[in-house]
């Protein structure tokens, strides 16, 4: 018959502290930040760019959300991509938004150098997403 070894109070506190630290770090690096939001010219559509910071150097996970602003929190579409910004925080220099029409938006995501950029055209009414080359 095996004898149970009781965990001492110090060991239990250390385990709880480690678990809280792990959960805190995991939550901090997987938290979604809003980079920007934009309304279409006639205010029929809303675009939001959100991102998750990489653990260290690497790509940011980018989520483009779009839909009618009235029910944006409930009825939005999303598209996920990545942006290499060399681990640096994202700011206003990492994107360009141009509403081509009330339902068509052109988004350029710009990484730490200009060769790391991607351009997308989203038709908010048909959910058509086009990635432009070059």
Q: Where are the domains of the chain?
A: 33-132
Query: Which comes out higher in pLDDT, residue 64 or 29?
Result: 64
CB 43 within 8 A of CB 67: no
pLDDT at residue number 92: 94
Distance CA 69, CA 77 (A): 12
**Given a cut of 70, is residue 7 above it in pLDDT?**
no
Largest CA distance in the chain: 76
| pLDDT tens-digit series, residues 33-78 | 999 999 999 999 999 999 988 766 778 899 999 999 988 887 789 8
| pLDDT tens-digit series, residues 76-102 | 898 899 888 877 889 999 999 999 999
pTM for the full model?
A: 0.76
Distance CA 41, CA 100 (A): 9
pLDDT at residue number 101: 96
Distance CA 51, CA 114 (A): 19
pLDDT at residue number 121: 96
Classify the C-alpha dihedral 119-37-68-78 as positive or negative: positive
């Amino acid at each position: 018959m095996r004898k149970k070894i009781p965990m001492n109070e110090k060991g239990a506190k250390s385990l709880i502290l480690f678990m809280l630290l792990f959960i805190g770090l995991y939550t901090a690096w997987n938290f979604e930040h809003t980079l920007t939001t934009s309304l279409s010219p006639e205010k029929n559509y809303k675009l939001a760019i959100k991102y998750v910071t990489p653990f260290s150097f690497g790509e940011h996970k980018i989520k483009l959300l779009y839909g009618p602003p009235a029910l944006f929190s409930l009825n939005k579409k999303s598209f996920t991509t990545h942006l290499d910004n060399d681990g640096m925080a994202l700011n206003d220099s990492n994107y360009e938004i141009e509403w081509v029409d009330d339902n068509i938006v052109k988004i350029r995501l710009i990484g730490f150098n200009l060769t790391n950029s991607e351009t997308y055209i989203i038709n908010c009414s048909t959910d058509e997403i086009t990635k432009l080359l070059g």
